[in-house]
């Protein structure tokens, strides 16, 4: 809701102090929905020697608008009507579309998703005011992805905005400063959508462009169901960059058919660097099995859990968006719980873990993917 990710350190620190949103009613705030919405129109990036003062004024105005609708939820119908008008306008008001769509999605949740995607379709990520609000755009898109609604329309927008994005993202989420690399950001926005995003990206592998970016993403949240698409790419790839990314996916989350595809590569058709890479890792490929992956999973000696207890802890982990300090991953793999049901739940847990929007997601992701792949071999 605020122009917080500005270019200078001074404005960055100022923005942090003016953290968004301040959701309590203010005595000097707007007195009507129309007045609150008007305060969000026509906003541009401040410039000139008094830009810090301008930024402070804008942030207060925007926070006051959010506070008004927090205090007057009965006025959200006016927000919806204003957003529909803004979506249909010949010239999009970029910040108004972003902030009002995010406001509506925050208060109404899933029912607002379709309208929110319509707003996203009109937003130009290259607009100065949007580039100054990349954090808000990220949180908005993450909330949309987690809603599970309008996914077929959302995914092309993720392609447009994030698939080839090279920008990192840093923001404060108490008690930590989150630092996402350029590769982390697309992983988050697609990952929170889940298997629908993996399937969408796998289908795009056959089209020109973005192949290597897609392979990297699939290695983070794909599974054996995506192996045929990756194996098709590998069948004609010769260069190291493509071959190594295909092999990473096939061995990391590709299951038994992924290992088979990797072992079936004819080194003679590869370029020298790819051929050397394959030769170096051939022995490790041959060793991959359910037993070797389970051996690599964290375990707690002497701890024995019943299947019923493991299921209870998995259910708790799912509710807590992947956070867990109680269940040894190796115990999950070796449990007597039905394999397919376990895989389905672990994939849901993996998807929900992205909702936490912290760097800890990637630490957990490595273990979850190892567990998913082990079960695919079971």
Same domain membership, residue 216 and residue 136: no
- Where does the pLDDT of residue 300 fall: very low under 50, low under 70, confident under 90, or very high at 90 and above? low
pLDDT for 175: 84
pLDDT for 278: 95
What SS3 class is residue 295?
A: helix
Same domain membership, residue 210 and residue 163: no
Mean of pLDDT over the chain: 91
- Domain ends where: 170, 191, 212? 191
CA 257/CA 314 separation, integer angstroms: 27
- Give φ, ψ of 289 to 5 degrees: -160, 175
Mean pLDDT along residues 213-232: 98
Same domain membership, residue 336 and residue 213: no
| Residue 124 forms part of a structural domain | yes
The DSSP-derived string for 131-169 is: HTTHHHHHHHHHHHHHHT-SHHHHHHHHHHHHTT----E
134-170 pLDDT, tens digit each: 999 999 999 999 999 999 999 999 999 999 999 999 9
CA 315/CA 322 separation, integer angstroms: 10
- Where does the pLDDT of residue 125 fall: very low under 50, low under 70, confident under 90, or very high at 90 and above? very high
Residue with tokens 């867990």: 324
- Domain ends where: 268, 288, 308? 288
Same domain membership, residue 327 and residue 224: no
Residue with tokens 């923005």: 15
pLDDT for 47: 84
334-361 pLDDT, tens digit each: 999 999 999 999 999 999 999 999 999 9
Please say if the pLDDT value at position 48 is more than 50. yes
- Its pTM stands at 0.91
Same domain membership, residue 243 and residue 166: no
Q: What is the extent of the structural domain holding 76? A: 9-191
pLDDT for 30: 87
Same domain membership, residue 335 and residue 224: no
| Residue 3 forms part of a structural domain | no
Same domain membership, residue 263 and residue 126: no
Please say if the pLDDT value at position 23 is more than 90. no
Paired with 173 in beta bridges are: 176
Whether residue 117 contacts residue 144, with contact meaning beta carbons closer than 8 Å, is answered with yes
Same domain membership, residue 135 and residue 20: yes
Strands 176-180 and 169-173: antiparallel
- Give φ, ψ of 259 to 5 degrees: -60, -40
- Where does the pLDDT of residue 11 fall: very low under 50, low under 70, confident under 90, or very high at 90 and above? very low
| Residue 323 forms part of a structural domain | yes
The DSSP-derived string for 152-220 is: HHHHHHHHHHHTT----EEEEETTEEEEE-TTHHHHHHHHTT-HHHHHHHHHHTTSSS-HHHHHHHHHH
Same domain membership, residue 326 and residue 282: no
Same domain membership, residue 265 and residue 200: yes
Same domain membership, residue 136 and residue 15: yes
| Residue 4 forms part of a structural domain | no
| Residue 2 forms part of a structural domain | no
pLDDT for 10: 32
Mean pLDDT along residues 86-93: 96
Question: Under 8 Å CB-to-CB from 168, ≥6 apart: which residues?
Answer: 179, 180, 181, 182, 184, 185
- Domain ends where: 288, 321, 349? 288
366: number of CA atoms within 13 Å, CB side? 7
Same domain membership, residue 140 and residue 60: yes
């Amino acid at each position: 809701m605020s122009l917080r990710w500005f270019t200078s350190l001074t404005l960055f620190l100022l923005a942090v102090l003016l953290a968004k949103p301040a959701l309590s009613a203010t005595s000097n705030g707007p007195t009507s929905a129309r007045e609150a919405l008007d305060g969000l129109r026509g906003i541009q990036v401040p410039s000139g020697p008094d830009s810090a003062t301008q930024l402070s004024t804008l942030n207060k105005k925007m926070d006051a608008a959010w506070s008004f609708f927090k205090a007057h939820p009965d006025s959200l119908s006016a927000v919806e009507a204003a957003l529909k008008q803004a979506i249909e306008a010949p010239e999009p008001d970029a910040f108004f579309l972003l902030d009002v769509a995010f406001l509506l999605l925050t208060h109404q949740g899933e029912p607002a998703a379709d309208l929110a995607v319509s707003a996203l379709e009109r937003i130009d990520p290259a607009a100065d005011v949007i580039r100054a609000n990349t954090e808000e755009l990220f949180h908005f898109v993450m909330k949309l992805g987690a809603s599970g609604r309008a996914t077929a329309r959302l995914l092309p927008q993720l392609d447009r905005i994030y698939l080839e994005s090279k920008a990192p993202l840093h923001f404060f989420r108490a008690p930590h400063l989150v630092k996402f690399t350029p590769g982390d950001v697309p992983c988050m926005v697609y990952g929170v959508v889940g298997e629908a995003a993996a399937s969408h990206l796998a289908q795009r592998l056959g089209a020109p462009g973005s192949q290597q970016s897609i392979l990297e993403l699939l290695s983070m949240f794909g599974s054996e169901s995506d192996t045929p698409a990756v194996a098709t790419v590998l069948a004609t790839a010769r260069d190291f960059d493509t071959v190594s990314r295909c092999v990473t996916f096939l061995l990391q989350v590709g299951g038994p058919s992924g290992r088979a595809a990797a072992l079936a590569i004819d080194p003679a058709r590869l370029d020298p660097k790819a051929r050397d890479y394959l030769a170096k890792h051939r022995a490790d490929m041959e060793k991959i099995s359910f037993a070797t992956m389970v051996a690599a999973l964290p375990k707690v000696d002497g701890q024995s859990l019943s299947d019923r207890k493991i299921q209870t802890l998995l259910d708790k982990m799912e509710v807590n968006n992947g956070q867990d300090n109680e269940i040894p991953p190796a115990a999950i793999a070796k449990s007597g719980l039905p394999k397919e049901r376990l895989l389905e739940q672990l994939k849901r847990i993996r998807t929900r873990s992205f909702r936490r929007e912290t760097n800890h997601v990637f630490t957990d992701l490595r273990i979850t993917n190892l567990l998913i792949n082990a079960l695919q071999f079971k």
